[in-house]
Structure 1
């Protein structure tokens, strides 16, 4: 996870609020003695801007808008298929790969999928149905079996999107993994996880800002605004604080207390009132912040394997060129424990994705129809600081650890963990 940074520890970067990263996985919290190299203006960022214009577009697309339109159609079809599969106790659904650079949605199924489900998907986007050896339900049972047998010898475990077996991340390998799981296991070595403002926000609090734990001195980043029982609350990472810990922004302004917390999903809610926007920034080629602004949140969307996403932590700033590699993972976070509902993603350029201080910060999908708007898709949990560390970017480029591989909690799993009913719209 991205762990909060105590004042006595090395600082972790945040944009406005400080986020925490962890693994073998490291947590992303940041030290509070740190001062951002490029401080954001006090109060609300006045302008809306595009943070992807300067990022190279993958897959031969002419623009990010073109790529994101294909991705959005894929995700719409994927959501229909996933929802239908979850309603059937005997579904052969195995997984989905929604990589727009392939130009078609890949649906993996054990047996024959319902014809109407496939027809509906193909009416939305080019779709291929491919055979799978195991259903997702069978693989989730196998993952539980392997976790019980292997314990903390594994860093991550979850079903492969193609239904061929389990994907397991370890630091040094795992002998006998297939025998313990009872299904084929793909073992990745050199995988770790550890915990990962902007700097002067005001209520209603926006995502991607820095916040500090007044009880411990640690710093993290705010996530998306969500509703809990009709009240607007601030989503962030559970490893950033405990129940009743007081939260402030870096200037000392109160943001309430930690009112709800779920370590199993690494999510918490701060009692301060949240808004429906998120901080972002444009970035120079060297990783410096060029200009800061905010963007409207228009809803929540699950990210699929192959999707392109961006992060917005208070220290690292907005980071894109990030692709989802796996989902539905359980991960073992150093000095924190097991967290499920996790998504693994990597910066495809092997530059910074998130770093210390970015814990709890937003993971977003840019709206294809209007690139000044974003969908909420997750909150930062942990970085692989052992095997994928890289130069930091953003508001604090020194004195902390950053990585190109990281893990985030799925927005729907994270909200369910703290009893949130939906994201706040801007």
Structure 2
């Protein structure tokens, strides 16, 4: 079987219950003729191979999530970094550490997690605010590729091309300059409704067939009632939206809505029949699928996997930076971005993967948690079995920011 749908969508049922003169709408459950939701118990198959490191990071991610929830606006949080192999979390705070944070630290340490507390010069929020006007003023910074807070809150980290001269740039905070490459925006085969994440999609426009990947299935609601269902993908695959997407056989998936006002999410919503699963494994070989159980935040040091229609699944990708603003080839600005690197020097992403899922695994590795959508990559490396153009570093946009931009919620199962 291939990243090819073999089942038709189950029609969603809506139960209308009349009780004591009150009409209650209850969301229905999809009941379609299933295309086989085949999975794999092979511990070496696809993302299953990352099960051990993914399970090890779960309690660290849960602790980091609780800490960020105590400072939702990043007003004092300087940074968080996971060191999964050492069961350690580095935590930087600006000013006095509140008692509720210290209580969480004590609970984590009682559970065997080592927490290293440090003082940060700036909060994440202060540093992010230094970059908010950059999309309108990007031409003033020739060669700037990405910018975001240093993980310890000490200032900004600037990624610039080798020819850039940042000596006169003033952000009002200390900066560290790293020479790097521009992020290349990467524009499985024959899927069918209900569409899954990680399948190949094409935007047939005049003069080009833009090939990308589906992301995650989502829905929109009025109160508890589902009013629309769709699939996410990358906006740079069809800038501005309003474009028809098909699969490689020509079967129509749907017409993407115009891009949202919050344009920096690099995301599109395609109204279509979709289901809460993503493809895993290779492309045409060793494919299987996994359900989506929910979403997860992103933290430096966290391990993620990618699954694109061009090059299949890649794991052992360690997130290096978050809360980034970056500029991708083709003119896309992306906010709430993250960068991750495949730790063994192999491919993390490749051509045709844009819009595809970035995810982690639940503790038993049978389900996935959405972390983001693929934007592109940099640092050319051999692709291996699948693909023709691959990169060691993947750029992606945080799933929480995408859902906010699209006013949508993940479909889960």
Is residue 287 of structure 2 the alignment partner of residue 297 of structure 1? Answer: no
Deviation, structure 1 residue 244: 2.3
In 2, Cα distance between the equivalents of 1:409 and 1:359? 11
TM-score by length of 1: 0.80
Moved more, 45-54 or 372-381: 45-54
Contact 2:321/2:339, CA 8 A, preserved across alignment = yes
Given the superposition, is the C-alpha separation of residues 65 and 291 from structure 1 closer, same or farther in structure 2, using an over 3 Å criterion?
closer
Given the superposition, is the C-alpha separation of residues 72 and 48 from structure 1 closer, same or farther in structure 2, using an over 3 Å criterion?
same
TM-score by length of 2: 0.82
Contact 1:224/1:278, CA 8 A, preserved across alignment = yes
Is residue 402 of structure 2 the alignment partner of residue 414 of structure 1? Answer: yes
Aligned counterpart, 1:373: 367
Is residue 392 of structure 2 the alignment partner of residue 404 of structure 1? Answer: yes
Match of 1:84 among 70, 87, 94: 70
Partner deviation per Cα, 1:274-327 (whole Å, 9 max, x = no partner) = 11000001x6xxxx8751100011000012100111000001001111110000
Contact 2:266/2:332, CA 8 A, preserved across alignment = no
Moved more, 44-53 or 344-353: 44-53
Give the number of the structure whose residues are more often strand, by fraction.
2
Contact 1:199/1:209, CA 8 A, preserved across alignment = yes
Q: CA RMSD in A?
A: 2.6
Where do 5+ consecutive residues of structure 1 fail to align? 1-37, 58-62
Aligned counterpart, 2:326: 331
Higher RCO (Cα < 8 Å, 6 or more apart): 1
Match of 2:358 among 344, 363, 373: 363
Q: For residues 142-157 of structure 1, what are the structure 2 equivalents within 5 Å?
A: 142-144=130-132, 148=137, 150-157=140-147
In 1, Cα distance between the equivalents of 2:38 and 2:119? 48
Instruction: Give the SS at the match of 1:415.
Output: helix
Deviation, structure 1 residue 160: 1.0
Where do 5+ consecutive residues of structure 2 fail to align? 7-34
In 2, Cα distance between the equivalents of 1:136 and 1:331? 17
In 2, Cα distance between the equivalents of 1:190 and 1:269? 32
Is residue 200 of structure 2 the alignment partner of residue 210 of structure 1? Answer: yes
Instruction: Give the SS at the match of 2:147.
Output: strand
Given the superposition, is the C-alpha separation of residues 346 and 51 from structure 1 closer, same or farther in structure 2, using an over 3 Å criterion?
farther
In 2, Cα distance between the equivalents of 1:165 and 1:331? 17
Given the superposition, is the C-alpha separation of residues 71 and 51 from structure 1 closer, same or farther in structure 2, using an over 3 Å criterion?
farther
Aligned counterpart, 2:19: none
Q: For residues 40-119 of structure 1, what are the structure 2 equivalents within 5 Å?
A: 40=3, 43=6, 44=35, 46-49=37-40, 53=44, 64-87=50-73, 91-119=75-103
Match of 1:350 among 345, 351, 367: 345
Instruction: Give the SS at the match of 1:295.
Output: strand
Contact 1:51/1:280, CA 8 A, preserved across alignment = no
Moved more, 328-337 or 120-129: 120-129
Aligned counterpart, 1:14: none
Moved more, 309-318 or 250-259: 250-259
Paired residues, number? 369
In 2, Cα distance between the equivalents of 1:309 and 1:423? 18
